Amino acid sequence: MSEADWAPKNIDVETASAARLYDFFLGGSYNFEVDRELGRQVAAVAPAAFDLARLNRAFLRRAVRYLVEQGIDQFLDIGSGIPTAGNVHEIAQRANPDARVVYVDNEPVAVAHSELLLEGNPNAGVIEADLRDPDSILRHEKTRRLLDFRRPIGLLTVAVYHFIPDADDPRTLAATYRDALPSGSYLALSHGTEDSMGETIRQIMALYKNSQNPITTRTRSEMTALFEGFDLVEPGVVFAPQWRPDSPEDVGERPEESSVYAAVGRKP
């Protein structure tokens, strides 16, 4: 498939985007040369960048499986990115064919590819919107049609809040989404940090300043604050490989080198 076949019209192909960079790191093909070039620069600074993306994606899969085990059958995935193997709807609908998923991203390529992937799936949809505009997400026709806000929902905000600067008040945003969820809902969230690998992460942040999505890292306590009003599920806020790993080998010898905190919380 040529680039012209899948690339939406009128998108910025001169500046790298986080969603397309993530796709590049995961081995996808829905990215442009500008994304690949920045990705190569990031990998030169942090050769483990490809592993970091996979570790974060693995946390998402484990979190979805955990939520399904808790009886969650509807999901709102904000900052979903470009679909790759092991999508939320694939995991959830494998366990429960009636599970419903709404994907949200502000990257047109991610949305366009998601629409293609979800053709013929009446229980999943995608909308183009920004985490910083809760009303556009929570009141969207697809959200209201697919999700029942009278029953528990799994809210997924994986590797997205570190693209929200402090000026946009992430704690208030998190509280807005929390307040929209019914009791028994869950929040799964991962977030980049400088608490480990600080110098390397600062070099990556400097490179991402040349993208559409600069990075704002946060400390463990700042990450934990995004869970205000939720009861953290064991093991709490930990580095991504440490969150309910499938095997000890998945954790590795230095999980802190993932430089990503991850956690799941339940709304009482």
In tens digits, the chain (268 residues) has pLDDT values of 445 455 666 688 889 999 999 999 999 988 999 999 999 999 999 988 888 888 999 999 999 999 999 999 999 999 999 877 679 999 999 999 999 999 999 999 899 989 999 999 999 999 999 999 999 999 999 999 999 999 999 999 999 999 999 999 999 999 999 999 999 999 999 999 999 988 999 999 999 999 999 999 999 999 999 999 999 999 999 999 999 999 988 898 899 989 999 999 999 9
* Predicted TM-score (pTM) of this structure: 0.93
**Domains by residue range for the chain, with CATH:** 3-266 (3.40.50.150)
Q: Residues 24-27: contacts with CB within 8 Å, 24+ apart?
A: 25/49, 25/50, 25/52, 25/53, 25/54, 26/50, 26/53, 26/54, 26/57, 26/84, 27/84
The two structure tokens encoding residue 136: 């556009």
The two structure tokens encoding residue 18: 């986080």
From residue 63, alpha-carbon distances to 45, 98, 121, 199 in Å are: 29, 19, 22, 29
